[in-house]
Amino acid sequence: MSTLAARNLVVLPLADVDHGNINRMCQALAQGLRQCGLEPAIIDYREPGEAPFQHLERLVSSGRVLSIMAMNAVGFPLVAHDMIARQRIRLFVFGTDHPCHLFPLMEVAPAGTTLSFPSASNLNCCRGWGLDHFDFLHIAHGAEPRIPIAWADRSLPFLLVGNLRKSSTQLRAAWTTRGPEIPVLEAMAEMIETDGALTLENLCLHALAATGNSDGPLSAPRAIAKIMRYFDTYARALMREGILQGLAGLPLTVVGDWRGLEASIPDTVRFAGPLDSKTVQDMAEHAKCIVDTTPAYYRSHERLFEGLAGGSLVALIGKTDFNDLNTSGALIQASQPDHLADRIAQIWNYEKDLAQRADAGRAAVIHDHTWTSRARCIKDALCGDTAPSYS
């Protein structure tokens, strides 16, 4: 049996995915793991034929693999768990969204699997489902350090990146097919309008109680996760609509597919349409302020950390889980979308301070929130204990 010191390979799968820059984050995390003394091995399932699977089999059989790490479950092995266990390989899922989106995986993943999620509240959500056979960690998104574009050379005042293929009204109308879940979803929709600070799971639990479903079949973990997945799509659309309307008076550039937009928007907003990731990244580097459109119960997003690392300010609803970022001055925070424009106006009145705020945010990210920082947390989790037995 190979010693722990000899087992330093971490396998990271890539695949055809169309959301969240998963592959780019995976490659950035791989570089971070290398900086921490581990050896990342990329398995690219986009390659044709059996070659990727044969590559994985060779690595697993070598006795050198410490962990198979699936970014947002992409490439997570659904078979051969016995062989993986015999080689004492840790299975690790790096979650980038709310746990409800990975609940179907949790139903089939073997005991002993480690799952991390980006918001601290996510851990209580998972533990509330009684999933004691997994290990859960809070690991937020990270960022790649780079030399920022000078503030005076930034040509985009405000940049919003995201899609709105269906409006919140269209998504809510589709709930008519959800049967007994309808009253719960409708109650959640009413609650998020009045208390957007609630976590997604608390919105769901409060709605179950309000509709008399706290002890019925809808209170089972699988049912709760399913309700939250439906509602999260609606909440994201609602937030994007609200932020766009709230910031419509600003010189805002919007990237993405917004065919679902129903409100009229003034000419101050420029819609650039869907663009390739390299173009979007270049635009972000030239933006003074990145607008994060995720609901407040998401306390971490790749765009937030990458924006700060690139020397931009970031406007968002809610706050992060990190005091150093919340107090850096680089985050423009509000509790509601219609308050965000006022907060931006207050800060923009002191334009000479904007570059200093952005520098402070970048310094905080470089100090403790790079992908190498996240890799250190992962290495501690992987190497701190002996590997569990999967079952």
pLDDT tens digits for range 182-192? 999 999 999 99
| Total-model pTM | 0.93
Residue 77 is predicted with a pLDDT of 92
Buried-exposed string 38-57: b where 16+ CB fall within 10 A, e elsewhere: bebbebebeeeeeebeebbe
Residue 10 is predicted with a pLDDT of 98
Per-residue pLDDT tens for 87-118? 999 999 999 999 999 999 999 999 999 999 99
Residue 17 is predicted with a pLDDT of 81
Q: For the chain, list the domains and their CATH numbers.
A: 9-142+371-383 (3.40.50.2000), 151-368 (3.40.50.2000)
pLDDT tier at 16, thresholds 50, 70, 90: confident
Q: Which of the pair, 266 or 390, is modelled with greater confidence?
A: 266
Per-residue pLDDT tens for 111-168? 999 999 999 999 999 999 999 999 999 999 999 999 999 999 999 999 999 999 999 9
pLDDT tier at 351, thresholds 50, 70, 90: confident
Residue 41, φ and ψ in degrees, nearest 5: -130, 115
Residue 315, φ and ψ in degrees, nearest 5: -100, 135
Residue 195 is predicted with a pLDDT of 83
Percent of the chain surpassing pLDDT 90: 88
Helices (H), 15-71: 22-35, 51-61
Owner of token pair 């970031």: 314
C-alpha 28/C-alpha 317 separation (Å) is 26
Average of per-residue pLDDT across 43-56: 92
C-alpha 101/C-alpha 73 separation (Å) is 10
pLDDT higher than threshold 70 for residue 171: yes
Residue 3 is predicted with a pLDDT of 53
pLDDT tier at 21, thresholds 50, 70, 90: confident
